[in-house]
Amino acid sequence: MASLVTSFAADLRRTADRWLFRIGAPEPGPIRLGQRRIYVLPSAAGIGFAVALLVMLLAAINYNLSLGYALVFTLGGSAAASMLHAFRNLYGLSIRPGRCAPVFAGDTAVFHLLIDNPAPRRRPALRLGAHGHWSAFELPAAQETAAALACPAPRRGRLALGRSVLETRWPLGLIRAWSVFVPDAECLVLPAPEPDPPPLPLDAGGDAHGGRRTREGDDDFAGLRAHRSADSPRHVAWKVLARGGPMLTKEFASGRGRELLLDWERLPPGLDDERRLSRLVAWVLAAEREGLRYALVLPGVRVPAANGGAHHARCLRLLALHGLADAAMEDEA
């Protein structure tokens, strides 16, 4: 019953969003907050303030207090003026989605939204909210600021920022002005790596092309070559660099042509899909740290052996999206 109530409430919320706030698919940036996108209503404090003013007005009428009238109308005018200030605090802002670094399942994803304030005045006391979490910030005059919002990432896959709210209750807290939007922002949530994985399968019966490998000569220095951006920092010839020489990379006799195969089918049959993904993620991270070339084989997709940032990111992305609805499109890309 509780799940049915929750599902009904979520459907009702989505329907209200589409009808009241015209919320639908994610919007490409920039999202400009114009007059039709800003909503203004009294806050809880504002409602209490209005009730107090009504009681004061009745007392002034009952006892014919001229100063009572003056006080009530002065306070009421201040509250009405705060409505305009709250509206102007949001009016004209432009919102663009920023970058969200990939995180592991169970960690916290930090979304960044770039909010531009074109006006020559600051915008204080702003709050950005999504997924039930809020972040407070303010915007300097005529500047673009990155607002960060931390959201939990419980499951692997794509985590969309989704329905977001930018609100303010400045200056008196009596009026809430807000805008609802759906930025085109998402975070890639990777499977959590296995805490204590077994060693890399260096002796698992051959390299990525089926050939045999040998571990002899792991420490046999073969020479220096020009440094490449994909090289591991542990292989950089730091002594040469410290003497004022160019950045070079050490080569080892057994390091040439060694390729590590990370194969889904070679994992123990007792592991379920999520535990297999966790182990493969741990091995990908370890292979990249050690500067090894590695290939990744998943059901229906094979990534040739390589190393470096682009290869590392592609393997992690495939592991994060394996078996999900959008994994097929990712494999084709």
Q: Is the pLDDT of residue 209 over 50?
A: no
Q: What is the pTM of this model?
A: 0.75
Amino acid at 321: L
* Cβ 266 vs Cβ 299: under 8 Å: no
| Structure token pair of residue 242 | 């410290």
Lowest-confidence segment of 68-82, 208-222, 255-269 by average pLDDT: 208-222
- Residue ranges of the domains in the chain? 16-190, 221-332
pLDDT classification of 6: cutoffs 50, 70, 90: low
* Strand 186-190 with 103-104, pairing: parallel
Q: Is the pLDDT of residue 263 over 50?
A: yes
Other beta carbons within 10 angstroms of residue 184's beta carbon come to: 14
Q: At what angle do helices 273-289 and 309-321 cross, to 10 degrees?
A: 170
Q: Is the pLDDT of residue 226 over 60?
A: yes
| Alpha carbons within 13 A on the beta-carbon side of 84 | 4
Strand arrangement, sheet containing 301-306: 259-263, 293-298, 301-306
Q: Is the pLDDT of residue 247 over 90?
A: no
Q: Rg of the Cα trace of the chain?
A: 29
CA max distance for the chain? 102
Mean pLDDT of 160-182: 94
pLDDT, mean over the chain: 85
Q: Residue-wise over 38-47: b if at least 16 C-beta within 10 A, else e?
A: beeeebeebe
| Structure token pair of residue 180 | 């609802």
CA distance 201 to 292: 12
pLDDT classification of 103: cutoffs 50, 70, 90: very high
pLDDT classification of 205: cutoffs 50, 70, 90: very low
| Close Cβ partners of 74 (under 8 Å, ≥ 6 residues apart) | none
pLDDT classification of 187: cutoffs 50, 70, 90: very high
User: Which pLDDT belongs to residue 21?
Assistant: 59
* Cβ 137 vs Cβ 128: under 8 Å: yes
Strand arrangement, sheet containing 133-139: 39-42, 175-181, 164-168, 123-130, 133-139
Lowest-confidence segment of 19-23, 65-69, 89-93, 155-159 by average pLDDT: 19-23
Please give the residue that has the higher pLDDT: either 195 or 23: 195
Mean pLDDT of 173-188: 94
Centroid of chain to Cα 199: 31
| Alpha carbons within 13 A on the beta-carbon side of 70 | 3
* Cβ 96 vs Cβ 138: under 8 Å: no
Q: Is the pLDDT of residue 62 over 70?
A: yes
Residue with tokens 């959008």: 326
